[in-house]
Amino acid sequence: MTNRTAFITGASRGIGRACAVALSEAGARVAVAARSADQLEELAGQVRARGRDAFPVAVDMSSADSIKEALGKTAKDFGPIAILVNNAGITKDGLAMRMKKDDWDAVIAVNLTGAFLAIQQVLPAMMRERWGRIINISSVVGESGNPGQANYVASKAGLIGLTKSIAQEMGSRNVTVNAVAPGYIETDMTSSLSRELKDKMLEHIPLKRIGKPEDVAAAVRFLASEEAGYITGHVLDVNGGIYM
């Protein structure tokens, strides 16, 4: 993937940040996108300090206009996007019976619709180049379900269906589309969980540890590589065995 441009959403922290670092180390030029401009600048500086190219770009994944503008600006100023990592995600948890429609809509808008709109923006260039890698970050709960997260689970399960559909549409153009489904990963999203809850989770993880963002990034780096050119429509579980 040397000198190919990769666009990573939700890149300011956690899994997205680890993906940006991993892809840059593999030779990609990384466009790092999120709402937080300050964190993006800091990440871009870290990547550049290692002699790699980085392009920070602000994006609101709930806004079609913002997505179109961010991807258009990246392609124009930083080069055609060959690798897209749809990582941005939010949670607004609550039992389905009491879940507000606004909380349902917000999570679906960012996690699923935003990913779809980003894919739409990058497909024309990938089709022209006859090379592309789209990697959607789903979740173990998108496969297993999880009480209190109907909106988040639906969005992550939706990403798996989206992955398989676009994979079938784009296969003849040498564009692969895959998903990575992380389990419990040590990120800001999980750091607020109580020690008791974390210990309970560990009981169900055969590898007996909570994952790191780098574990997920390694899977993303592989799926973005030339070596993964015959893999498409696949969901790669990175979950320590918690769901098989």
Active site amino acids: 152
Q: CA-to-CA distance for 114 and 18, rounded, in angstroms?
A: 21
Q: CA-to-CA distance for 199 and 157, rounded, in angstroms?
A: 26
Q: CA-to-CA distance for 103 and 108, rounded, in angstroms?
A: 9
Pairing of strands 235-238, 5-9: unpaired
Give the length of the chain. 244
Here the tokens at position 156 are 């992550």
- Compute CA 109 distance to the chain's CA centroid, rounded to the nearest angstrom: 15
Q: CA-to-CA distance for 177 and 105, rounded, in angstroms?
A: 25
**Residue 90 backbone phi and psi in degrees, to 5:** -130, 160
Stretch (H or E) spanning 121: helix 114-129
Q: What is the SS3 assignment for 147? A: coil
